[in-house]
């Protein structure tokens, strides 16, 4: 694999001061893309919610519903 240097060459780029800085009023040179940005990641297939967290959430929902049902019954009586 070949590596492409994304930095501009100061000798051939117009508008750059010594050291590579851009003087006021000048437009800096455009960035080039990075063809080798990182390793390719394979697609990971997720299977959804695990059984334990889903069960805990459902139990919590049922307990809250029972609490409000009991509270409503106490208010009625």
- Top-ranked range on mean pLDDT: pick from 32-36, 60-64, 73-77: 60-64
| Token digits of residue 29 | 């040179």
Judged against a pLDDT cut of 90, whether residue 41 lies above it is answered with no
Q: How far is the C-alpha of 23 from the C-alpha of 26, rounded, in Å?
A: 6
Mean pLDDT of 59-67: 98
pTM: 0.40
| Token digits of residue 77 | 């009586």
Q: What's the pLDDT score for residue 75?
A: 92
Helix (H, G, I), strand (E, B) or coil at 58: helix
Alpha helical stretches, state H, 1-77: 51-76
């Amino acid at each position: 694999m070949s590596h492409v240097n994304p930095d501009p060459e100061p000798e051939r780029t117009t508008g750059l001061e010594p050291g590579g800085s851009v003087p006021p009023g000048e437009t800096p040179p455009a960035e080039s893309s990075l063809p080798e940005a990182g390793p390719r990641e394979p697609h990971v297939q997720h299977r959804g919610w695990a059984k334990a967290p889903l069960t805990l959430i459902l139990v919590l929902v049922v307990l809250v519903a029972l609490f409000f049902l009991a509270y409503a019954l106490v208010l009625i009586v």
